[in-house]
Structure 1
């Protein structure tokens, strides 16, 4: 039985207490990156919603307009904050978004963002595909992003963190090197698929989940600080990764933006943090850890 046919995740159990030591550049203890979700949604297809009561309607102005605030307005506030603190985004981009929002692509390229493949559109989950259909879909996604951005993606995060059992294997065939979908660790680790890594991402330290559950702006800042402080304490013997997931239609809202800025200011001021991208985390781990 091959790996993708087995009903198990594509990795082996590895307690964090029994691994090679990770040393980040410059003696940093925590590698921090912003996973900036740049998503395109299809009008008339139910997806992430602020009010489920209208999600099945066509059209659904309430929910589609809420999501569409991100690329039109919210992301530009987020970009201002990232620029203020010298943080390059790890851009988790739908391939359709690179075609629909060329101004965002241009802004990201001017800032040397890392571009990760995030499916075609967040209205369609990456699931239920046979091998040939998935290979075609992934090839189109990766090629579209590479053409639009001038940078071939090295990482993948599925829409709503979705994969099939063969996704890492097919991504490796396309030259990708890591995935973010398996949010089960504070360090990168190797998958069973040769050449593929898992890099930490977070569904907990994530504006969509936190603010969606009623977290206030000041509480968000405290949560970010608490996350960093604990990871820094944990890193006394080996480096850790801290990912902050942002969705511009959520954290780019005017009444939240100043708290995101405050959280980024706090992190940028920490002497033991490496402000980086998921690409550079994967590269450093691959180059320095057996």
Structure 2
């Protein structure tokens, strides 16, 4: 696979998001808990990254990590869902299939609240790990079924942890997906060169609460609010100059669902709500549909 370092080459398509806006915002809530690797769930190893790096030897059950992840659907989800309602912000939920199957009640509530449910893979793992298209397609289908059983929705978008396999896009196109989000290389959606009918709605890891779990990342809730606000200022200014833009903001139930970090979530939502008249805040499916209608394959 060749790398594209050119992109739009500094000449962006003349598009407007719904409402005539030049800048769109996608809020993503990741629903992964219960789908992380855990020896206690029959997986060969347990996810080491949590509030601290696990010190449990590889191959042994790690109840502490299980509980750190379980905090997400047990507690964090509910205050985050309420904040989305309070600020009337639509979100896209990146839902892992095993998480949807094991904690369907929370995902069903998010769907009832009007949020888009997208596929995040069966497990919270890179799809680059799959050894064959058949194994990966089985996981995709299983995830779609679990999401549908929990919410009544069939996902039209996909994003996996890390990286896709060489054949992920082939499978997504064949299965009728609207968009893929394993792209970190632009501030605007684009067409996949090998699958023109598939829109790439790029994601971002800088404006993402995973940085609370990484050195040199966010420490106080205000760090993330300030960072997102700076990003908004830059992209909105570029939008006013006629350059369409997209800002992605990612959150996790077990991270910003915690009381000490929750103000980052509520504060970002409040900042978006204050600028609502100047932005299009939509689901990733809405963003992909809007782009596809204006930039033909």
TM-score, normalised with respect to structure 1 = 0.90
Q: 1:211 to 1:51 in 2, by over 3 A?
A: closer
Q: 1:53 to 1:117 in 2, by over 3 A?
A: closer
Say if 2:227 is the partner of 1:233. Answer: no
Q: 1:20 to 1:77 in 2, by over 3 A?
A: same
1:162 Cα deviation from its structure 2 partner: 2.4
CA distance in 1, matches of 2:85, 2:252: 17
Q: 1:194 to 1:146 in 2, by over 3 A?
A: farther
Contact residue 54 and residue 63 of structure 1 kept, 8 A: no
Q: What's 2:42 paired with?
A: none
**Residues 1-290 of structure 1: pairs in structure 2 closer than 5 A:** 7-9=1-3, 13-15=6-8, 17-39=10-32, 40=34, 41-44=36-39, 45-47=45-47, 48-55=49-56, 56=58, 58-122=60-124, 124-126=125-127, 127-158=129-160, 160-192=161-193, 193-213=195-215, 214-215=217-218, 216-235=220-239, 236-270=241-275, 271-290=277-296
CA distance in 2, matches of 1:280, 1:241: 12
1:105 Cα deviation from its structure 2 partner: 2.2
Report the aligned-residue RMSD: 1.8
Contact residue 37 and residue 92 of structure 1 kept, 8 A: yes
Instruction: Give the paired residue count.
Output: 281
Deviation per CA, 1:47-68: give whole Å up to 9, x if none: 2333324253622122222122
CA distance in 2, matches of 1:111, 1:146: 16
The 3-state SS of whatever aligns with 2:261 is: helix
The 3-state SS of whatever aligns with 1:32 is: strand
The 3-state SS of whatever aligns with 2:93 is: strand
1:161 Cα deviation from its structure 2 partner: 3.2
Contact residue 220 and residue 259 of structure 1 kept, 8 A: yes
1:75 Cα deviation from its structure 2 partner: 1.3
Question: Which stretches of structure 1, 4 residues or more, deviate above 4 A after TM superposition?
Answer: none
The 3-state SS of whatever aligns with 1:250 is: coil
1:12 Cα deviation from its structure 2 partner: 7.5
The 3-state SS of whatever aligns with 1:255 is: coil
Pick which of 110-119 and 213-222 moved more. Answer: 213-222
Contact residue 204 and residue 210 of structure 1 kept, 8 A: no
Gaps of 5+ in 2: 40-44
CA distance in 2, matches of 1:24, 1:163: 28
The 3-state SS of whatever aligns with 2:254 is: helix
Contact residue 54 and residue 62 of structure 1 kept, 8 A: no
TM-score, normalised with respect to structure 2 = 0.88
